[in-house]
């Protein structure tokens, strides 16, 4: 646990900014994408489900929780994404166990690319970096993520009694009804003509 305490102290000294969360907008957002690219002013669809999974976990389980859990998650994500996670397994296990969680419960064991793209020229290698330097690099990387990305609180992450969730459900119902009616008319025309 001492190792994790040392890592967390370094992380806290960096004052890493949180990622902003924006509310879902029926007219401008899609329910399937949680990452919002600030420079392009639109949601980004990732072909890599671990990246989407990271955004979903941030929304559902991490943001707003104990700062120590947030730090463990962010360091874990960075080291996993950059292939440096082996050095941090023990301290991260200690950190997660404080919150009744475990190291292996976050991503699929084969997950590698878990963070969205960030403009950076750096190549990361744990062979040349000390533990402290890796934590500082992780903090800097998450600072860049918070500058370049936001998270969209899609209906999947809203309470069922949230008015926006109700609006979205009604919008989906009407959209599906319209599609079903169009399909009905197409099939009716096809089979009544025969």
Q: How many CA atoms lie within 13 A of 166 on its CB side?
A: 3
What the block records as the tokens of 13 is 């000294």
- Are 126 and 95 found together in one domain? yes
- Are 192 and 178 found together in one domain? yes
Q: What does the pLDDT read at residue 147? A: 95
- Are 103 and 182 found together in one domain? no
- Are 21 and 116 found together in one domain? yes
- Decide if pLDDT at 181 tops 70: yes
- Are 96 and 185 found together in one domain? no
- Are 101 and 170 found together in one domain? no
User: pLDDT tens-digit profile of 66-96?
Assistant: 999 999 999 999 999 988 888 899 999 999 9
- Are 119 and 190 found together in one domain? no
Q: Are 168 and 159 in contact (CB under 8 A)?
A: no
- Are 183 and 130 found together in one domain? no
| 47: DSSP letter | S
The dihedral built from the CA positions of residue 78, 81, 83 and 86, taken in this order, carries a sign that is positive
- Decide if pLDDT at 127 tops 70: no
- Are 53 and 40 found together in one domain? yes
Cα separation, 194 vs 187, whole angstroms: 11
- Are 153 and 168 found together in one domain? no
- Decide if pLDDT at 61 tops 90: no
Which percentage of the chain shows pLDDT scores above 70?
A: 93
Q: How many CA atoms lie within 13 A of 182 on its CB side?
A: 6
The range of the structural domain enclosing residue 172 comes to 161-194
- Are 173 and 145 found together in one domain? no
The number of distinct structural domains making up the chain is 2
- Decide if pLDDT at 125 tops 70: no
- Are 76 and 169 found together in one domain? no
């Amino acid at each position: 646990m001492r190792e994790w305490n040392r890592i967390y102290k370094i992380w806290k000294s960096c004052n890493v900014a949180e990622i902003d969360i924006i509310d879902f907008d029926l007219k401008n957002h899609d329910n399937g994408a949680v990452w919002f690219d600030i420079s392009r002013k639109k949601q980004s669809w990732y072909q890599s489900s671990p990246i989407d999974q990271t955004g979903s976990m941030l929304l559902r389980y991490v943001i707003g929780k104990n700062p120590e859990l947030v730090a463990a998650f962010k360091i874990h994500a960075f080291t996993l994404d950059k292939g440096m996670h082996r050095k941090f397994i023990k301290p991260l296990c200690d950190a997660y166990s404080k919150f009744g969680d475990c190291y292996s419960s976050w991503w699929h064991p084969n997950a590698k690319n878990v963070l969205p793209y960030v403009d950076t020229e750096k190549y990361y290698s744990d062979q040349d970096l000390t533990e402290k330097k890796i934590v500082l690099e992780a903090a800097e990387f998450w600072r860049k993520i918070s500058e370049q990305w936001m998270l969209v609180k899609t209906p999947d992450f809203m309470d069922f009694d949230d008015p926006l969730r109700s609006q979205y459900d009604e919008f989906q119902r009407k959209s599906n009804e319209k599609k079903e009616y169009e399909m009905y008319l197409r099939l009716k025309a096809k089979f009544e003509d025969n």
